[in-house]
Chain A
Amino acid sequence: MSNILALAQKELRAYFVSPMAYALFGFFALLFGWFYVANMNVMLQYSMGQFGQGGPQVVNINEFMIRPLFGNTAIILLMMLPFLTARAYAEEKRSGTMELLLTSPISDVQIIIGKFLGAMALYTMMLGITLVHIGILFWYGDPEWGPIVSGYLGLLLMGGSFISVGLTISSMTKSQMVAGVSTFAVLLLFWMINWVSDGSGTTADTVLSYLSILEHLDDFTKGVIDTSHVTYYVSLIAFGLFLTAKSLDTARWNG
């Protein structure tokens, strides 16, 4: 256990020593803030009755602002998290430090979990920035906290899946660039996978919509914690970690 934590801590520090963490945090805060303002404007226009509802309305801040904001956040994460995970294994393989880890008395599973926890810790901090924005809503408004908590849980699980996929791909290459671009493409595909579904309700159609990585977030932002969605994300995380283990093993056999 202390091995895993040592590794997670090392990972986390590596993000902060390089400008990586600051670039991610800065641009994430900027983009999140941008969507925050945009969604707030839409909500305000609704509340002032500018969409022909005939006069000012009482709008639900959760429904009109926070829920779409979480949806937008998912897209930001889809574009940013690939760069968070790209270096994790690729850099160790390139610089030869992977040899240190693989010849130390720690198992592959410990390495994989340690790296996952390190990346998750950074991601959680990144998500933590947005608590400021949400806090302001509590100051001036009266949102329900239930859907917010479940929304954050959803974002954590979804981000975890992104990270797990990213780490898997990073473990397959020595190039951070290749890892980053491939992860981004794979995640994009996971997002759009149900765009070809035609709503016909056939088996293929159902499978395609089930696989879509963003679709599963929706219920969380509504305040519903559905076990099927939790299962989806947790399975994806576990599957990614499993594939990483296989990838490390393969790399070992092929030298």
Chain B
Amino acid sequence: MVEVQHVTKRYGSLTAVDDISFSVERGEILGFLGPNGAGKTTTMRILTGFLPATEGRARVAGFDVFERPLEAKRRTGYLPETPPLYPEMTVAEYLRFVAQINGLPSADRRTQVGLAMERTNISDMADRYCGKLSKGYRQRVGLAQAILHNPDVLILDEPTAGLDPRQIIETRRLIAELAGDHTVILSTHILPEVSQTCQRVVIINRGRVVAVDTPDNLTARLQGSQTLYLQIDTQGADALATLEGVDGVAGVTRADTQGEVSGYAIESNQGDDVRRELSRTVVANGWGLLELRPQQMSLEDIFLQLTTDETAADETHPVTVTPEPEADAGEEDGIDE
């Protein structure tokens, strides 16, 4: 549905996107993960035809975005980083305008606008001016605008930024719902968001793809060793040596101490589950077990790890676990010939 082949974007001497290739299948949700300035927005802007690429090709729904921009744009819904609203229009007026410039026949406009407002839960805001909406509502109007013309491909640049937790959950549910008949590409810098919403993740850093995989594989692969967080009440005794002596524990560091309660970060080799052994040891010593949980790897950790991996094997290609579909084998080929 979406194919990106060796796309590069340079601004003068600065390379914002460096030889990126990936593809997305119909109905799939692809997460675009990366720190600020990694090239997520630039890549999305290239896909939506807002920016031309310096090199490479990109196709949306079978249409090359450089050669057949109008055809590609007609099949793309796009929510930019800041929702592109006209403050002087009401929500309904705005959506009608978007319907018009997307070339929806006038008979369908009213129903499509109503449907989009319903799906994004903004029907009660129809007569409010866009300029007076809260950030959360602006975001949702932006989303309504993107899905309005029922596009094949949805490109969402940080769709949950600025929303409150309940709206975030609603938006994620909506995106999951849309994925059935739309292909979704969304960017984010929040890791849990990716694992909850996306079937596949592209991690980019400094304009290059560092990994393409499913969220689960990625987390598993990245955690070479597992880290547990253990909080115990030792009544003042030092537990460090005892904990280090537990079978399978590779290393212990004290994370924090508050009075008689101490927290430890415990590393174990991958595959070894030391939680049973640990809790047994704690209880056997008569300490109070307050907390024992696997420590989530943060996005920062993952990036650190990925970038270090890359420098170690500098000349090799970016880490790709799932073999990418062959570029020319797509069924959409030939449509625009």
Contact = CB atoms under 8 A, between A and B. Distances in A.
Q: Do A and B bind each other?
A: yes
Contacts of B313: none
Scoring A13, A100, A107 by chain B CB atoms within 10 A of each residue's CB, the highest score goes to A100
B84 A105 contact: no
A97 interface: yes
Interface of A: 2-3, 6-7, 10, 13-14, 17-18, 95-107, 252-255
Scoring A101, A105, A106 by chain B CB atoms within 10 A of each residue's CB, the highest score goes to A105
B49 A103 contact: yes
Contact of A99 (B74, B80, B103): B80
Contacts of B111: none
A104 B145 CA distance: 11
A99 B101 contact: no
B52 interface: yes
Contacts of A95: 84-87
B11 A13 contact: no
A101 B89 CA distance: 15
Interface residues of B, number: 32
Contacts of B70: 105-107
A103 B73 contact: yes
Interface in B77-96: 78, 80-82, 84-89
Contacts of A18: 88
11 contacts: A2-B103, A6-B101, A10-B97, A14-B86, A95-B84, A95-B87, A96-B84, A102-B49, A106-B70, A106-B101, A255-B42
Given A3-B103, A14-B88, A255-B16, 6 more contacts: A3-B101, A10-B89, A95-B86, A100-B80, A103-B78, A104-B102
Nearest to A249: B52
Contacts of B98: 100, 104
Given A105-B74, A255-B11, A7 B51 contact: no
A18 B89 CA distance: 11
A100 B79 CA distance: 9
B51 A252 contact: yes
A101 B71 CA distance: 15
B100 interface: yes
A2 B106 CA distance: 10
Interface of B: 9, 11, 16, 42, 45, 48-52, 70-71, 73-74, 76, 78, 80-82, 84-89, 97-98, 100-103, 145
A252 B73 contact: no
A163 to B, nearest CB: 21
A114 to B, nearest CB: 9
Closest 5 CB pairs of A and B: A100-B84, A6-B100, A17-B88, A105-B74, A105-B73
A106 B100 CA distance: 10
B11 A7 contact: no
Contact of A13 (B80, B84, B88, B145): B88
Contacts of A3: 100-101, 103
Contacts of A6: 97, 100-101
Nearest to A3: B101
Contacts of A255: 9, 11, 16, 42, 51
Contacts of A252: 50-52
A10 B86 contact: yes
Contacts of A107: 70
A70 to B, nearest CB: 34
A103 to B, nearest CB: 4
Nearest to B42: A255
A99 B97 contact: no
Contacts of A104: 73, 98, 101-102
Contacts of B87: 95
A99 B50 contact: yes
Contacts of B71: 105
A111 to B, nearest CB: 9
A102 B100 contact: no
Contact of A254 (B11, B84, B103): B11
Nearest to B101: A104
Contact of B85 (A97, A98, A103, A253): A97
Nearest to A114: B101
A103 B103 CA distance: 13
Contacts of B103: 2-3, 105
A255 B16 CA distance: 11
A2 B50 CA distance: 22
A105 B52 CA distance: 15
B303 to A, nearest CB: 25
Nearest to B105: A2
Contacts of A2: 100, 103
Contacts of B73: 103-105
Contacts of A96: 80-82, 84
A245 to B, nearest CB: 15
A167 to B, nearest CB: 18
A102 B42 CA distance: 15
B102 A103 contact: no
Contact of B86 (A97, A105, A254): A97
